[in-house]
Amino acid sequence: TKPNGDTETTTVDGNGNWSFDPNPLDNGETGTVTATDPSGNTSGSTSTGVTDKVAPDAPVVDVNGPILSGTGEAGSTITLTKPNGETETTTVDGNGNWSFDPNPLDNGETGTVTATDPSGNTSGSTSTGVTDKVAPDAPVVDVNGPILSGTGEAGSTITLTKPNGDTETTTVDGNGNWSFDPNPLDNGETGTVTATDPSGNTSGSTSTGVTDKVAPDAPVVDVNGPILSGTGEAGSTITLTKPNGETETTTVDGNGNWSFDPNPLDNGETGTVTATDPSGNTSGSTSTGVTDKVAPDAPVVDVNGPILSGTGEAGSTITLTKPNGDTETT
Residue 102, preceding peptide bond in cis (omega within 30° of 0): yes
Task: Encode pLDDT of 178-219 as tens digits.
Answer: 999 999 999 999 999 999 999 999 999 999 999 999 999 999
Q: How far is CA 133 from the centre of its chain?
A: 19
For residue 71, what is the enclosing H or E element?
A: strand 68-71
State residue 249's pLDDT score: 98
- Length of the chain as a residue count: 330
Phi, psi of 2 (to 5 degrees): -85, 165
Of 255, 258, 273, 282, which Cα lies nearest the Cα of 143?
Answer: 282
d(CA 184, CA 208): 12
**β-sheet bridge partners, residue 301:** 310
Of 248, 250, 151, 255, which Cα lies nearest the Cα of 206?
Answer: 151
d(CA 114, CA 302): 106
In this prediction the pTM is 0.78
Task: Encode pLDDT of 270-315 as tens digits.
Answer: 999 999 999 999 999 999 999 999 999 999 999 999 999 999 999 9
Task: Encode pLDDT of 211-248 as tens digits.
Answer: 999 999 999 999 999 999 999 999 999 999 999 999 99
Of 102, 103, 108, 96, which Cα lies nearest the Cα of 70?
Answer: 96
Task: Encode pLDDT of 19-67 as tens digits.
Answer: 999 999 999 999 999 999 999 999 999 999 999 999 999 999 999 999 9
User: Pairing state of beta strands 140-144 and 148-151?
Assistant: antiparallel
d(CA 176, CA 324): 63
State residue 77's pLDDT score: 98
d(CA 252, CA 259): 8
d(CA 137, CA 93): 34
d(CA 287, CA 307): 41
173 to 9, 64, 280: CA distances (angstroms): 65, 21, 21
Q: How far is CA 166 from the centre of its chain?
A: 17
